[in-house]
Structure 1
Amino acid sequence: MAIRVARFLRFVSLLRLEPYIVLFTAFYFVKRNALDVLIQDKICVHKYNMPEDFCYHLASIKKNDTNAHIKTDILADAVMYNTYQQLLTQPLSIIWSLFLGTWVDKYPKGRKWIFIIAAVTQAMEAAINACNSYFFSLNVNWVLLALVPYILSGASTFTTMYSYVGATTPSKWKTTRMTILEMCQALAQPLGVFVGGQMINLTPVLGNGQVHNYGLIFFVSSCGMIGAFLWTAFFIDQQQNKQNFEKYFGDNNVENKPEISPKSVEIPGEKSDENSGAIINDETVDLPVADRAKHPIRLLLDYKNIVVIIMSCFKRRHNRATTKIWLVIIANFCLYMIRTGNSTFLFQFVEKIYHWDAKEYSQFQSMSLAINSISVILMTYVFIKILKLHDMWLAIIGFTSVLLQNLVLAIILNPTGYYISMGVNCMNSLGSIGYKSYLSKVTEPSALGKVFTMMSFVDGFAPMIASPLFALMFRKTIDSAPSTCFAIVATLAAIPIVIALGINYLSKVPTGANPTEPAIIEQNVEPVPTLHTNGKLSGDNYNGVRNINSISSLKSNQD
C-alpha cells in the first residue's frame, strides 16, 4: 500500500502540463457566457433600441408578452455572431495547423511556445473585450476585433496538449494520462462557468452604460491567462518531462526493473504497441543536417511541413493502422461538430424555452460539467483497471452518453429535460478520452505531432460547417420546432459509435502492411523481460512480430 501511495505521489509530482490546462481552461470558460451576454446586450440596446430594463430581463420574457418577437430576433442575431466568430477564426487556424504539426516534432520547445502564445493572446482578447464592455456605446461589431490575437496564435492549443501528452508519456500510461488531461479540463470548465455566472449579474464595475457586469469578468480572465503564461514559462519542459516519466514509469524505470532473460533479445529502438500490434520506433527521428542549422521560425514556415504531414498520415502501416487513424480523425470531426453545434445555440435555447438568464444557465451548466467530471473520475478506474475495457469501448460509452443527452433535450422541452440530460450525459468525456488515447497508441511517437495536426486541420472545418448550419436551423425552428437542432446533434453522435465498432472489428482481422509482411493480430500480452544488444533492460513485448530486415541487420552486427 505504501509503495502504491508513493508511486501515485511520484506520478502527480511529474504532472507539469496539467496545472496549465486548469488555468487556461478555467479562465477561458469564465468569459464564455459573458461574451454571449455582451453581444446580446449591444444588439438589444443599439440595434433594436430597447431600454436597459428590457435587455436585462430578456430571458424572463414569455411567448405572449409584449415585444416577445423582438426577443426571438435578438437571440437569433446573437447566434449569428457565434457563426461570424467561427468563420473569422477558423480559416487562418486551419492554415496554421498545417505548419505547426511537423514543427513541434522537429523543434523540441515548439509545444511550449504554442502554450505561451495561446495564454498571451487569450489575455489580449479578454483585455480588448474589457475595453468593449467599458466603452459600451461602441458598435457590436467591435467585439469581432478581439478575435485578431486568437487568429494569429494558430488556435492549436488543445490539440497540442494531446500531442504533448503522447510525446512525453510511456505507452502503458497514456490512457491514464489522457484521462487526467480530460479531467483537468472537465473540472476547470465548471469552475470557470460557475464563477463567471456568479459575477455576471453583479452591479457593473465602472459601469459606463454596461447592462451586465462583463467588464470585470474579462479583466479577471485576462489576469488568469497571464498566470497560465508564467506557469508555462517557468515549469514546462517537454524533454525533461519525458525523461522523468521514462525514468520512473517507463519499462526500464528505476523503481521496478525486470530481471534479465538471456534467451530473449530485443531489436534496439523498437517496440510493439499493445493495442495496435504495430512495431514503432520509440525515438524521434533525428533532423536532417540542413534543418539543424535553421532558425526555429524558418523550420515553422517551411512549406515541406505540409508535405511531411500528408505523407505521414497516408503512409502504409502495420495492421491497418493508417485506416484506423483516419477513422479516429473522422470520429473526432463529428465530436467537434457536436460541440460547436451545442455551443452555438444552447445558451439562447435555454433563454427562449426555459427562460433562464445567464446566471441561472451558468449554475446548471457548471453543475452538469461537475457531474460529468466526478462520474468519469469514479468510473474510469473501474472501466480501465477492473473491467479492462479497451479505448474503443470507452469511446462507445462516451458517445452513447452524448446521443442520449440530446435525445432527452429534444423530447422534453422544459427544465426537467435539462436535469435528466445532466445524468445521462455523465460519461460524455470518455468519447474523447477513448479516441485520443487510441490515436496516441496506434501512431508512432515520431509522427504524433503530424497526425494530431492533421486531426486539428480536419477538425477546423467542423465549426465552419456546424455553426452556420445550427444558426440557420435555430432561426428557422426555434418557434415552430425547437427540438430540431438537438435531433441533428443526436444523429451526429451515432456516427462515432459506429466507427468505434468498426475499429474493434478491424483489430480482430489479421493483416500485414504489404503482402510480403507477416500478419499482425492485436492482442494483449504480458511484457516479457528482454535484453537490448547494448545491455539495457526492457519489458516490452512484441506479440511475436519482428521486422525481417532489422533482424538481419542485428545478426550482422553480432557477427
Structure 2
Amino acid sequence: MDDSDTRAILPDEEESPEDNSIASKCCCPMSMGDNAVCSPPPYSCPLSVSVEPVLFLSMFSLGLQIPLCTQYLWDRISEDLGYNGTDTGKCANHTGPVDPLEKEVETQTAHWNLYINLGAFFISLFSSTLFGSWSDRAGRRPVLIISNLGLATQAALYLLVFYLKLPVAWLLAGRLCSSLTGDFNATLAGCFAYVADTSDRGSRTFRVAILEACIGLAGMFASLIGGPWRRAQGYINPFWMVLATSLASALYAFLFVPESVVPDPEARLLTTKHHRAVVRLYTRKGPEEEKGRLRRLHLWLYSLCFFVVVTVHFGSRNLYVLYELSAPLCWGPEMIGYGSAAQHLTYLSSLAGLKGLQRCLDDSWVALLGLLSNACGLLVISLADTTALMFTGYGLCFLALIPTSVLRSKLSKLVDPSEQGALFASVACVEGLCSMVASGLFNSLYPATLHFMKGFPFLFGALLLTLPAGIIGTLGCQQRRRNTDNSAEAS
C-alpha cells in the first residue's frame, strides 16, 4: 500500500454497506478490482470453519513441545553432569544444604531456556512482521503454510537431537529455524488477519473470540496429555505428534483454506517496505488531520491496553502452579491438573459470555466487565488459603479473556483492509514482548514479596488492570457522545 493510499478511520465507526459486501465474499474479499480472481483451494471443507483448525493444530503443537523441551533440557544436563536427584526423589525431599549439582543443573537449564527464548523472540520480531505485512499483498495462505512448515522443521531437528543425543545447542538451532519462517507469531497474525478479511465489523469481535478459544482448547489438551505421555513413552513419540500436527496444519491451510486477498504477483518478500508498513500504522497522518490524529491516538492507547492485559494474564499464569504447590494450599499433581483445567475453561466461558453480552452492550462495556471479572478473580486468588477459595478465584475469572478479543477487534477496525496483516503481525510481536516482560516482572515480584504477602503479585496484577479499564471506559464514553451528537445533527 502506497503512502498516498490512506483512509482515516474513526474508532469504532458504524458498520457500512461496504463492510457488509466485504464480509459476504468467501474468497478474496479485499479484491483490487472487479476482474480480480484468486484460485480456490483444491478442496472445500465440509464444516463451516476457515482458519480455526490451522490455529488449533499449531497451538496444540506448540503447547505440547514447550514443557517437554524444558524437561528434556533438565534430563540431558542432569545426565551430562552426573546428577540423579530427580530419579531418587532427593531434589524434592532433602532438608539439608542444596546439592551443588542440582543447583548447577537448575542454572544451566534456566540459561538454555533463556537463550532459546530470547533467540527466538528477537528473530521472530523481525520475521513475523515481515511475513505479516507481506501477507497483505501475497495472501494469507502462503504465510500460514510457511510458518507451520517452520514449526515442523523445528520438531524434526528436535527429534534428531533425541535420537542422536546431539548437544543441547542444536535445540537452539531448531528454534531459530522456526523463527526465520515467522514462528507461531506469523500463524497468529495470518489467522487473525484472515478473520478480519472475511468478517464484517459487527461479527468480528466474536470471530476473534472463537480463534482465542481455539488457542485455549488446544493448550488445555496439550497440557493434559503431554506429561502422562512423556512419563509413559519418553520424549520421542510426543515429538512425532508435534511434527505431525505442524505438517497437518500446513496441509490443511493448503488444501482447505480459501485465499482472502487477491495475491499480487509482483509482491516481494525481502524488502524494507513491509517493516515500513508496520511503522506507518502508528505514525501515518490521514488526509483529514483531526481524524488521523484520533486514529493514531486510539491505536497507541488500545495497544497499550492489550500489552497490560496480556502481561497480567501471562504473569499470573506463570505463578499459579508455584502458588498451589506451596503452603498453605500444598496441592498435589491431581489438584494442579484440576486447577489447570479450570484456567483453560475460561476460554469457553469468555466466548459464551461475549456472545450473550453483545446482545445488550457495546464492545467497550463488555470489555470492562471482562476486566472486572479478571480483577475480582485475581483479588480472591491473592488471598486464597484454602482450595475452595482458590477455585472461587478461578470461577470469578470466567470472563477474563473477553478484553483481548475486544481489543484485537478494535485495533482491526482502525486500519484499512489492506493493512490487517501488518497490524496483527505487530500485535503478535507485542504478545511475545508481553511474555518476556511478564516472566521477568512477576517471577521477580513473587520471591520479593513473600515476607509480607504471598499473593501480592496477583493483587498487583488486579491493580494494573485499572489502567486499561480507565482507557477503554474513557474512549467508550467519547464514542457514545460522538454517536449521540451525530444522531442529533442527522435529526
> TM over 0.5, yes or no?
yes
RMSD value over aligned CA atoms? 3.8
- 2: CA distance between counterparts of 1:176 and 1:411? 33
- 2: CA distance between counterparts of 1:396 and 1:154? 33
Closer, same or farther in 2 for the Cα pair 1:118/1:311, shift >3 Å? Answer: closer
- 2: CA distance between counterparts of 1:522 and 1:352? 56
Matched ranges for 1:19-58 at <5 A: 19-47=53-81, 49-54=83-88
Match of 1:147 among 166, 175, 184: 175
Query: Counterpart of 1:183 in structure 2: which amino acid?
Result: A
Match of 1:321 among 272, 295, 302: 295
Match of 1:368 among 337, 340, 343: 343
Matched ranges for 1:320-399 at <5 A: 320-342=294-316, 344-348=318-322, 350-351=324-325, 361-369=336-344, 371-385=345-359, 388-399=360-371
Which residue of 2 is the match for residue 245 of structure 1?
none
* Residue 222 of structure 2 is aligned to residue 192 of structure 1: yes
The answer as to whether partners of 1:93 and 1:460 remain within 8 angstroms in 2 is: no
1:231 Cα offset (Å): 0.5
Which residue of 2 is the match for residue 306 of structure 1?
275
1:165 Cα offset (Å): 0.6
Which residue of 1 is the match for residue 32 of structure 2?
none
The two structures have a TM-score, normalised by structure 2, of 0.76
Matched ranges for 1:399-410 at <5 A: 399-410=371-382
- Corresponding residue pairs, total: 440
Matched ranges for 1:84-95 at <5 A: 84-95=115-126
Closer, same or farther in 2 for the Cα pair 1:101/1:227, shift >3 Å? Answer: closer
- 2: CA distance between counterparts of 1:434 and 1:53? 47
Closer, same or farther in 2 for the Cα pair 1:337/1:83, shift >3 Å? Answer: farther
Query: Counterpart of 2:352 in structure 1: which amino acid?
Result: L
Closer, same or farther in 2 for the Cα pair 1:406/1:441, shift >3 Å? Answer: same
1:102 Cα offset (Å): 3.0
- 2: CA distance between counterparts of 1:417 and 1:135? 48
Query: Counterpart of 1:174 in structure 2: which amino acid?
Result: R
Which residue of 2 is the match for residue 495 of structure 1?
467
The answer as to whether partners of 1:20 and 1:231 remain within 8 angstroms in 2 is: yes
- 1: CA distance between counterparts of 2:376 and 2:304? 21
- 1: CA distance between counterparts of 2:444 and 2:436? 13
1:475 Cα offset (Å): 6.2
3-state SS of 2:95 partner: coil
3-state SS of 1:412 partner: coil
1:402 Cα offset (Å): 3.0
Query: Counterpart of 1:301 in structure 2: which amino acid?
Result: L
Closer, same or farther in 2 for the Cα pair 1:414/1:146, shift >3 Å? Answer: farther
1:16 Cα offset (Å): 1.5
1:223 Cα offset (Å): 1.3
1:195 Cα offset (Å): 1.7
Closer, same or farther in 2 for the Cα pair 1:492/1:201, shift >3 Å? Answer: farther
3-state SS of 1:172 partner: coil
Match of 1:102 among 114, 133, 152: 133
Closer, same or farther in 2 for the Cα pair 1:29/1:418, shift >3 Å? Answer: farther
The answer as to whether partners of 2:189 and 2:421 remain within 8 angstroms in 1 is: no
* Residue 477 of structure 2 is aligned to residue 508 of structure 1: no
What CA deviation, in whole Å up to 9, does each residue of 1:314-360 have, x standing for no partner?
23453823322221111122234234434555545545566667776
Which residue of 1 is the match for residue 419 of structure 2?
447
Closer, same or farther in 2 for the Cα pair 1:488/1:215, shift >3 Å? Answer: farther
What CA deviation, in whole Å up to 9, does each residue of 1:117-158 have, x standing for no partner?
22222223233334444566x665554333122221223221
Closer, same or farther in 2 for the Cα pair 1:127/1:460, shift >3 Å? Answer: same
Unmatched 5+ stretches in structure 1: 1-6, 206-212, 243-283, 511-519, 526-542, 546-559
- 1: CA distance between counterparts of 2:116 and 2:220? 23
Closer, same or farther in 2 for the Cα pair 1:31/1:310, shift >3 Å? Answer: closer
- 1: CA distance between counterparts of 2:72 and 2:446? 20
Query: Counterpart of 1:379 in structure 2: which amino acid?
Result: G
The two structures have a TM-score, normalised by structure 1, of 0.68
* Residue 249 of structure 2 is aligned to residue 219 of structure 1: no
The answer as to whether partners of 2:152 and 2:243 remain within 8 angstroms in 1 is: yes
* Residue 95 of structure 2 is aligned to residue 126 of structure 1: no
3-state SS of 2:205 partner: helix
What CA deviation, in whole Å up to 9, does each residue of 1:391-426 have, x standing for no partner?
222322223333333333332256555423321222
What CA deviation, in whole Å up to 9, does each residue of 1:65-113 have, x standing for no partner?
3466877886676555544333211112222244334322222x2x212
The answer as to whether partners of 1:194 and 1:363 remain within 8 angstroms in 2 is: no
1:235 Cα offset (Å): 0.8
Which residue of 2 is the match for residue 539 of structure 1?
none
What CA deviation, in whole Å up to 9, does each residue of 1:529-552 have, x standing for no partner?
xxxxxxxxxxxxxx969xxxxxxx
- 1: CA distance between counterparts of 2:112 and 2:478? 43
The answer as to whether partners of 1:191 and 1:366 remain within 8 angstroms in 2 is: no
The answer as to whether partners of 1:189 and 1:366 remain within 8 angstroms in 2 is: no
Query: Counterpart of 1:89 in structure 2: which amino acid?
Result: A
Unmatched 5+ stretches in structure 2: 1-23, 25-43
Give the fraction of aligned pairs with identical amino acids, expressed as a percent: 19
1:382 Cα offset (Å): 1.6
The answer as to whether partners of 2:281 and 2:415 remain within 8 angstroms in 1 is: no
